[in-house]
Amino acid sequence: MPLYQSQSLQIYNSLSGKKEPFEPLNEGYVGMYVCGPTVYSNVHLGNCRTFMSFDMIFRYLRHLGYKVRYVRNITDAGHLVDDAEDGEDKIAKKARLEKLEPMEVVQRYTVDFHTILEKFNFLPPSIEPTATGHIIEQIEIIKVILEKGLAYEINGSVYFDVAKFNEHHSYGKLSGRKLEDMIANTRELNAQDEKKSPQDFALWKKAEPQHIMRWPSPWGDGFPGWHLECTAMSTKYLGETFDIHGGGMDLKFPHHECEIAQAEASYGHSPVRYWMHANMLTMNGKKMAKSTGNNILPGEIFTGENSILSKAFAPSVVRFFMMQAHYTSILDLSNDALLASEKGYNRLMEAVDTLGSLETASKSDFDVTVWKQQCYDAMNDDFNTPILIAHLFEAVKHINLIKEGSEGISATDKELLKDTMEAFVFDVLGLERKGDGTDDSNMLSGVVELLIQLRMEARANKDFATSDKIRDQLAALGIQLKDGKEGTTFTVS
C-alpha cells in the first residue's frame, strides 16, 4: 500500500487562504508546475530558496508514493524589464549590453542555473520546457481569447481585456485585490499607451525594428507576453486542470493572477486546484539587492569569495539552513545563522553515521514508532520542515544516549530508526552526507582556519618567518589571506 493512503497531507492553498486536505485530480498521480527562472543573469539565492522549497515538496510527494509530473519552465523570452508592459526584454537587453546573441545569454545562464541546483542536490524536474519552444501554443491561446471577445488587437499587439473578463469572472481573487480599487489607485493612461485600461496586460507585443527577439504571428512580428508562457506550458503538459502551481510570493500578483485569467478565458474554468507560494529570503535583516550591495550569489557562499561571510559554507549546510524555516516564512541569511546551521548539520550527520554501529538491547527506551509518525505529521502539516527537523534532533538526542549506554534500543527499533532517519534526512530534505564531494569546502575551511590560528600564534611570538611562510604557501595554492579588524579571512581563487 502506498504511503499516501495512510498519511493525511494538508496543503495551504493561497487561493482559499487556508489549509486543505490534498486530494489530487487522479488518485496516485500529481501534476505540479513551478515558475522557473528568467535566464538573463546568475541565479539569485532568493530564487534558489523558492526552487528548493518545491524540490522538497516534489521529494515528499514522491516519498509518499505519488507518481509526480513536475514541470518547471525556463523563461528565455518575453519577460520585460521591471515586469512592465513596455520596455525591453530582459534577455534582449543583456544581449545588447554584452554584444551577444540572445540565445548565447540564455545558454550561459541556463547552464549556471543547472550547475547551482545540482550543487544543492536538486532532483531534476520531469519536464523543463522553454518559452521560445512554445510560441505556437501561445499564439493558439491568444486566438481563442480573441474569439471570445476577452482580448483586443491594436497596432500589432494583443492585450487582455481585464474589465470585460471581470464582468463574468473575478480578476484579483488570488491576491485578494478588487478591480475597482486597482482602477482607483492607478494613473491615467498617457497618449502613448495603446491599452484601453492600465490593468490590461499584453498577450502579444509588437516587435519594434530594434527588437532582436521576434516571431511571426497573425498580428505581425512580435513576442509573447510573460504571463502567457506559463499558461501555455502548464496546460500543455499537465492538462487544462492540474493539481499544484507554485512559485515565489512575488509572483502572486500580477503574474499568477494573469495566468488564472488567461486560463479561465481560454478553458472556461480555473486551471489550478492548489496554489502554493514560497516566501522571500533576506540578508542581515534587509532585502537582498545588487544595487545596495546586500547581495550574495550561491557560488560565492560555496567558495568563501565574498566580503559578507566569515568562511565558505558547503551547499548541504546552506540547504539545511533553508529547511529550518517553513517555506511560507521570511528567512534571514546571516553569517551567524549559517555558522549555527553548520553546527546543527554536523551534529545531525554524526548521529546518522553513528546509528549503524549502535549496540542493541532486549528492549527500547525510545518509542521509535510514535516518533516516526510525528515526523510524518510534521510534513503532512503543509510540509513543515522546521518541526520535522526538531523531531530529527529529538532522535539525535536518543542516539547519543544509546551510544553512551544511558538508553537501550532493540534491533527492530534500531533498523526502523535508521531507515526513517535516512528517508527524511536524505530523500525528503535532500541533504547529502559529509564527504560526499559537495562538502569538500567544509574540510578545506577547517584546514585553513587551523593554519590561520597557527599563523596568529607565530605572529604573537614574533616568529614572522613562520607567519609569512604560512601566508605565502597558502597564496601559492590559490588561497589568499586577508587581515582585518575582525580577524583574518580567506578567499580561494
* Of the candidates 107, 85, 87, the residue with the CA atom closest to the CA atom of residue 40: 107
Buried b / exposed e across 153-189, counting CB within 10 Å, b at 16+?
beebbbbbbbebbbeebebbebeebebeebeeeeeee
C-alpha 251/C-alpha 258 separation (Å) is 10
For the chain, what percent of residues have pLDDT higher than 70?
A: 95
Task: Determine the pLDDT at residue 437.
Answer: 43
Torsion sign across C-alpha atoms 239, 243, 249, 253: positive
CA dihedral 474, 350, 312, 57 (to 10 degrees): 150
- Least confident among 196-200, 383-387, 466-470: 466-470
C-alpha 262/C-alpha 385 separation (Å) is 34
The answer to whether 459 and 487 are in contact (CB under 8 A) is: no
pTM: 0.87
Task: Determine the pLDDT at residue 290.
Answer: 73
Return the beta strands (E) in 56-183 as ranges.
Answer: 67-72, 151-154, 157-160
Model confidence band, residue 212 (pLDDT cutoffs 50, 70, 90): confident
C-alpha 2/C-alpha 66 separation (Å) is 8
SS3 449: helix
Strand partners, 32: 70, 244
C-alpha cell at 183: 482602477
Task: Determine the pLDDT at residue 482.
Answer: 82
Model confidence band, residue 409 (pLDDT cutoffs 50, 70, 90): very high
Phi, psi of 165 (to 5 degrees): -60, -40
Task: Determine the pLDDT at residue 255.
Answer: 96
SS3 50: helix
For the chain, what percent of residues have pLDDT higher than 90?
A: 78
Question: Which uninterrupted H or E stretch holds 491?
Answer: strand 487-492
Asked whether the predicted pLDDT for residue 79 surpasses 60, the reply is: yes
Task: Determine the pLDDT at residue 438.
Answer: 43
Q: What is the mean pLDDT of residues 158-175?
A: 96
Model confidence band, residue 134 (pLDDT cutoffs 50, 70, 90): very high
- Least confident among 44-53, 238-247, 397-406, 480-489: 480-489
Model confidence band, residue 332 (pLDDT cutoffs 50, 70, 90): very high
Question: Which uninterrupted H or E stretch holds 482?
Answer: strand 479-484
CA-based angle 179:184:187, to the nearest 5? Answer: 110
- Least confident among 83-87, 355-359, 452-456: 83-87
Q: What is the mean pLDDT of residues 312-335?
A: 97
CA-based angle 141:146:152, to the nearest 5? Answer: 125
The answer to whether 455 and 471 are in contact (CB under 8 A) is: yes
